[in-house]
Amino acid sequence: MRGCNGIIVREINSDQLVVTFNYKVDLVNKIRSIEGRNWDAKQKHWVLPNTPDCLVKLNDVFKDEGIEWVDINHIILSKECSGNIIEFAQKMRRQLTLNGFTQKTIKAYTGHVERFLKHADKKVEDLTAQDVEDYMYTLLNDQRNSHSYANQAVSALKILFTDVLKKENIVLRIPRPKKEKKLPEVLAEEEVIKVLNSLASEKHKAILFLIYSAGLRVSEVVRLKVNDIDSKRMLIHIRQAKGRKDRYTLLSHAALKALRKYALIEKPKDRLFPGGKEGEFLTERSVQKIFKKACSQAKITKEVSVHVLRHSFATHLLEGGTDLRYIQELLGHQSTKTTEIYTHVSKHNLNQIVSPLDRLFKD
């Protein structure tokens, strides 16, 4: 129920919360004690990070006033349990940093640990192998998550129990689901042309041209700097990508032409594709939106994400006769087994096979 001071906390997206209440000096002072809060003068409300830590803090500072929670997807746990989650999420971040993981992996693994601790809803020292098994069953059976998602959860929990909690006996009993063998979705060359031709913005063209022409991950294209483009050698320097590895990949002439058109308009200085805020890169979510809009305009009906351009790059190179080992280098795959999956979606070999039905009904 709404408290007497009308304090309402609403989730507006996965990153932000909005807090509104009738003006009172003591309430303003309380919300100012929360790290990351900002006052939106135009909308007349407070904006806060949508994190478990922030929810716990809100629950704590306004415990005497009462809060109306609206569209909140996080679980509001007891203060004791919430404190456990905050403490061990911080320990997990520290351990992952010491282990040398990237910020993206740290965020993903810490998220898995937070969700597990919420699900277990008990003191960390009381956690057992049964709690892990129950959680994994929930991920796979109740929530219908993919096996790759569940395997990532297992990897995160193994670090939690081995390095943070020092309970290696539990790690030995954590089940790891069998990997699913799924083939990547691929666009035909004609479909790629339609998508790229549907783009009106020179910036959007430069981004998607680079992704397809060089087989980039979306996380790689948004972090490119101007100096990473080597137009003399026609190479792109990818720095500290997945697995903290550097590599070089192709810079196509068509992509370079698109980049130069974009650069004449935007004049990027350091970051090739800067974000909305000073000193930030463009977000991966923004690139996904650009691609989704382009697919809609090109009337592509396949359910695909921007990562399909990377898959299409590899498949089209293979169909064009490029050696698999070179494709592995360009994509930055550690093992050839990862790259070999494109042999299963390439039409190069399949087109050499004649269906027996076509032989039976041949003119």
Residue type, 314: A
Q: Using alpha carbons only, give the angle 335, 337, 341 rounded to the nearest 5 degrees.
A: 130
CA distance 85 to 119: 11
Nearest Cα residue to 307 out of 216, 194, 236, 190 = 216
Q: What percent of the chain has pLDDT over 70?
A: 90
Q: Which residues are catalytic?
A: 217, 242, 307, 310, 333, 342
Q: What pLDDT was estimated at residue 46?
A: 93
Q: Which residues contact 111 (CB under 8 A, 6 or more apart)?
A: none
For residue range 16-28, list pLDDT tens digits in order.
889 999 888 999 9
List, in order of start, the domains of the chain with CATH numbers.
Answer: 8-70 (3.40.1170), 103-171 (1.10.150.130), 189-349 (1.10.443.10)
Please, what are the averages of pLDDT over each run of 10 residues along the chain (363 residues)?
Answer: 64 82 90 90 88 77 77 52 71 89 86 87 85 90 88 92 86 75 85 94 94 92 93 91 84 93 92 82 90 94 91 88 85 81 71 68 69
Q: What pLDDT was estimated at residue 2?
A: 39
Report the predicted TM-score, pTM, of the whole model to 2 decimal places. 0.63
Distance, CA of 190 to chain centre:
28
In angstroms, the Cα distances linking 154 to 150, 242, 307, 338, 342 are: 6, 19, 24, 21, 27
